[in-house]
Amino acid sequence: MKYSCLVLLLLTADSAFGRQHHTVGEKKAAIVQGLGRVHHSVSARNPRAQRFFDQGLAYIYAFNHEEAERSFKRAAELDPLLAMAWWGVALAVGPNYNLDVDPDREKQAYDATQRALSLSSKAPENERAYIEALAKRYTNDPNADLKKLAADYKNAMAALAKRY
């Protein structure tokens, strides 16, 4: 456990303290050992896609959103029908504790959510619910009330937590 925490700390610190950033599309994600045991079962048809999805969640929890995005995109590559992979991308590029919303990331998150929605018709009910909840958070309207969108998402997630 101590080793896992140290690895997460180092990965997060590396990102936060001046590591040379690269364009997300330049480097594919690789499975990294020592991130802890994070698992949320999704309808991945490819076991490696599930592993990359879980790794993306581990990176989200470690506030390493760039690596999370890369892992979720790798899951989508391995399973092109996995709507939850695009849900993960949207979650990773959206606002978070350390990064407020900005127009470019809002557009990326909106686009990823729309992609997840377009794939969700064949997803299980719980996955559709996650995607629909996150869809309340993002918009392509430049004049939208972002605080209201955040509150709508919070309320949708509260209902989802109660339901599942």
CA distance 75 to 61: 17
Partners of residue 99 on adjacent β-strands: 96
How many helices and strands in the chain, by DSSP H and E?
Answer: 7, 0
Residue given tokens 């045991």 in the structure block: 37
Identify the DSSP state of 32. -
- Tens-level pLDDT at each residue, the chain (164 residues): 444 433 343 343 333 333 333 444 468 899 999 999 999 999 999 999 999 999 999 999 999 999 999 999 999 999 999 999 999 999 999 998 888 888 899 999 999 999 999 999 999 999 999 999 999 999 999 899 989 999 999 999 999 999 98
- HSE, CB side, 13 Å, CA atoms: give it for residue 11: 23
Does this model's pTM top 0.85? My answer is: no
Length of the chain: 164
pLDDT at 40: 96
Residues 18-32 pLDDT 10s = 333 344 446 889 999
